[in-house]
């Protein structure tokens, strides 16, 4: 259906507006949409009347793509009403689906009809205003909700930001704590490793060198060790920093710099003189008994932190103990070596009977132990050879070995067989030192008797090489160790000794190995001794002793003393014995 209005005057426009409203209402267009349509149409018709001329309004119905109805309004100029030639004005509203209406007919020209149309428009306007008020209230409510939501969001963002900052602070604190813990672990590890390095040596000069190598360059740029009683006169005359002298006198660590150190347990001093090229940390080296010296350090960077200073002071304390232990060891070693040289006397010379001895101290610990050998004549012309081993090492063992050696020589002046001498030594040691024990073998040679007499007390058995190259282990029943709380009488044993024979007396350091025991070592000794010829032994017994020792010590840990005494009866012993000799007692 199509309706057309020709509009020239305001009355025509009002009539067209009223007709449009009625037709829209007839088609069921809602009041809001109807008001929107009529208001838009009125505004455009007002523009048209302002321009003047004649205008035509076409109102027609059509189908919309959605299936609803469509009410369209088109305003076009008649004749030359719009000289600009613009496109016709168009607008449309949707009618409910399936709406059908009858044409309300033309609008009358009487004032009553026009007034009713205007009043109806006002009613629609009231509805629109009510809707608008509702929308404004709804918008206001939504705006308040939005403001509250925004405030909540802002508060939430603030809380999240605060929580994030707190979490970042916690992460930073954790990283700092982890870094400090790792640094502390490295310091403790360094301190433990450095202590092991320092205490591994018993040479105080070596400890000083190791201390410098440990500290430079990580913890110090330079290291100076001032030992008070150092024998180096040149070092004693070196000028020392004032802080080092103060540390030596006070026994407290000193920090010399042009700024306070703030180091725990360390006193601050003015810049060091004569050395003024940077800060110095001077820490006393000492033990509970006496001060040993001062360790002076220059920092690797500008200064030390407090934890590094505490670690360096503790390391210095441990270094002082290590140096003190090394010096005490060196002192005892010097005494022991002096005693050792005094005890290892020259072997006697006997026609037809050659002797060769070797003593090798252990390479670990004090270079002296309880191993000993001796050879001397008895008043009847017999030659006593002895080899023994006092339990333990060091100065105490050496002193006891000296007392046994002296006691044996004293007992031998009264005569007596090897077994009798060992029995008397057993009684002597038991009463002299009840908690100390010893082993020994005594062999006696008589120039007029081809019989070898020997006795053993807890000692490895002698090894005898006969002239034909055969080697025998003289393992007849020995006595128990000397000094044990047991009454015993040690027996003598004899064997015929032919010219060209060689008797080997030794201590367990030559043949015993931790992983193998002692028996395989005795077998190796016997095998090695069997490789020698009597002529070689006649010609050079000392050289033969060295050749015998070298292969046997190749696999030795050298953690025990080694003692060897070779007694060789010359192949022409009878002829050589007829040569007169002067005996000295």
How far apart are alpha carbons 224 and 245 in whole angstroms?
Answer: 13
What pLDDT is attached to residue 145? 87
Helices 31-51, 10-26: axis angle to 10 degrees equals: 160
Q: Assess whether pLDDT exceeds 50 at residue 583.
A: no
How far apart are alpha carbons 408 and 424 in whole angstroms?
Answer: 8
Asked if 256 and 243 touch (Cβ cutoff 8 Å), the reply is: yes
Helices 111-199, 306-343: axis angle to 10 degrees equals: 20
How far apart are alpha carbons 271 and 293 in whole angstroms?
Answer: 21
Is there a cis peptide before residue 217, judged by omega within 30 degrees of 0? yes
394: confidence class by pLDDT, cuts 50, 70, 90: low
What pLDDT is attached to residue 67? 67
Q: Assess whether pLDDT exceeds 60 at residue 360.
A: yes
How far apart are alpha carbons 561 and 398 in whole angstroms?
Answer: 12
368: confidence class by pLDDT, cuts 50, 70, 90: low
Going through 79-170 in order, the beta strands assigned E by DSSP cover 89-95
How far apart are alpha carbons 339 and 337 in whole angstroms?
Answer: 5
What pLDDT is attached to residue 505? 96
125: confidence class by pLDDT, cuts 50, 70, 90: confident
The overall pTM is greater than 0.75? no
Asked if 503 and 444 touch (Cβ cutoff 8 Å), the reply is: no
Cβ burial of 317 (10 Å; 0-12, 13-18, 19+) is middle
Asked if 453 and 476 touch (Cβ cutoff 8 Å), the reply is: no
Q: Assess whether pLDDT exceeds 60 at residue 98.
A: no
What does the block give as tokens for 227?
């030992």
Helix (H, G, I), strand (E, B), or coil: what is residue 224? strand
Asked if 68 and 96 touch (Cβ cutoff 8 Å), the reply is: yes
What pLDDT is attached to residue 363? 60
What pLDDT is attached to residue 582? 44
Number of neighbouring beta carbons within 10 Å of residue 105: 10
Average the pLDDT over each of 254-268, 432-446, 522-536, 546-560 and give the range with the smallest value. 546-560
Report strand pairing: 463-465 vs 471-473: antiparallel
The mean per-residue pLDDT over the stretch 232-261 comes to: 82
Q: Assess whether pLDDT exceeds 90 at residue 30.
A: no
Give 156-173 pLDDT, tens digit per residue.
899 899 999 999 999 999
Cβ burial of 524 (10 Å; 0-12, 13-18, 19+) is middle
Give 298-332 pLDDT, tens digit per residue.
888 767 888 888 999 999 999 999 998 888 888 87
How far apart are alpha carbons 386 and 440 in whole angstroms?
Answer: 7
Q: Assess whether pLDDT exceeds 50 at residue 581.
A: no
Q: Assess whether pLDDT exceeds 60 at residue 367.
A: no
Domains of the chain, earliest start first? 2-109 (3.30.565), 201-337 (3.30.450.40), 344-577 (3.60.40.10)
Q: Assess whether pLDDT exceeds 90 at residue 423.
A: yes
578: confidence class by pLDDT, cuts 50, 70, 90: low
How far apart are alpha carbons 449 and 417 in whole angstroms?
Answer: 14
């Amino acid at each position: 259906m199509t309706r057309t209005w020709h509009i020239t005057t305001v009355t025509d426009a009002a009539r067209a507006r009223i007709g449009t409203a009625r037709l829209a209402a007839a088609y069921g267009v809602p009041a809001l949409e109807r008001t929107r349509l009529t208001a838009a149409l009125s505004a455009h018709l007002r523009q048209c009347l302002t321009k003047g001329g004649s205008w035509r309004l076409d109102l027609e119905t059509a189908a919309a793509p959605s299936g609803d109805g469509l009410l369209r309004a088109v305003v076009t100029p008649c004749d030359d009403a719009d000289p600009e030639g613009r496109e016709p004005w168009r607008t449309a509203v949707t009618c409910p689906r399936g709406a059908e209406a009858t044409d309300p007919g033309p609008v009358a020209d009487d004032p009553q009809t026009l007034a009713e149309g205007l009043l109806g428009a006002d009613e629609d306007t009231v509805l629109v205003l009510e809707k608008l008020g509702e929308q404004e209230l709804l918008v206001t409510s939504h705006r308040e909700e939005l403001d509250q939501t925004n405030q909540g969001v802002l508060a939430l963002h603030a809380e999240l930001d605060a929580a994030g900052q707190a979490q970042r602070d916690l992460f930073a604190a954790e990283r700092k704590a982890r870094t400090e813990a790792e640094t502390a672990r490295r310091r403790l590890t360094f301190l433990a490793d450095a202590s092991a390095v320092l205490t591994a040596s018993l040479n105080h000069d070596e400890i000083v060198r190791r201390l410098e190598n440990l500290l430079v360059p990580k913890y110090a740029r330079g290291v100076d060790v001032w030992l008070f009683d150092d024998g180096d006169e040149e070092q004693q005359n070196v000028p020392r920093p004032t802080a080092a002298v103060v540390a030596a006198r006070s026994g407290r660590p000193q920090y010399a710099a042009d700024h306070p150190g703030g180091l725990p347990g360390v006193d601050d001093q003015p810049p060091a003189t004569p050395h003024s090229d940077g800060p110095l940390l001077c820490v006393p080296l000492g033990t509970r008994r006496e001060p040993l010296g001062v360790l002076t350090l220059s920092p690797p960077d500008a200064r030390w932190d407090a934890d590094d200073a505490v670690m360096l002071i503790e390391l210095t304390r441990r270094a002082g103990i290590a140096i003190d232990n090394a010096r005490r060891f060196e002192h005892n070693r010097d005494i022991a070596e002096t005693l050792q040289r005094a005890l290892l006397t020259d072997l006697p010379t006997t026609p037809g009977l050659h002797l060769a001895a070797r003593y090798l101290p252990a390479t670990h610990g004090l270079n002296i132990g309880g191993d000993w050998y001796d050879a001397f004549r008895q008043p009847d012309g017999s030659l006593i050879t002895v080899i023994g081993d006092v339990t333990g090492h060091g100065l105490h063992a050496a002193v006891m070995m000296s007392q046994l050696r002296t006691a044996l020589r004293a007992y031998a002046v009264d005569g007596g067989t090897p077994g009798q001498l060992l029995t008397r030594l057993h009684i002597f040691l038991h009463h002299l030192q009840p908690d100390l024990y010893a082993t020994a073998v005594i062999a006696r040679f008589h120039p007029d008797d081809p019989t070898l007499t020997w006795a053993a007390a807890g000692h490895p058995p002698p090894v005898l090489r006969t002239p034909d190259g055969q080697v025998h282990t003289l393992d007849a029943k020995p006595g128990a160790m000397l000094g044990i709380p047991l009454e015993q009488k040690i027996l003598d044993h004899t064997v015929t000794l032919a010219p060209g024979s060689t008797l080997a007396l030794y201590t367990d350091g030559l043949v015993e190995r931790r992983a193998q025991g002692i028996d395989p070592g005795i077998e190796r000794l016997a095998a090695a001794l069997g490789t020698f010829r009597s002529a070689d032994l006649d010609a050079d017994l000392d050289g033969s002793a060295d050749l015998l020792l070298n292969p046997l010590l190749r696999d030795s840990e050298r953690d025990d003393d080694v003692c060897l005494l070779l007694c060789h009866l010359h192949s022409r012993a009878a002829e050589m014995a007829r040569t007169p000799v002067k005996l000295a007692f």
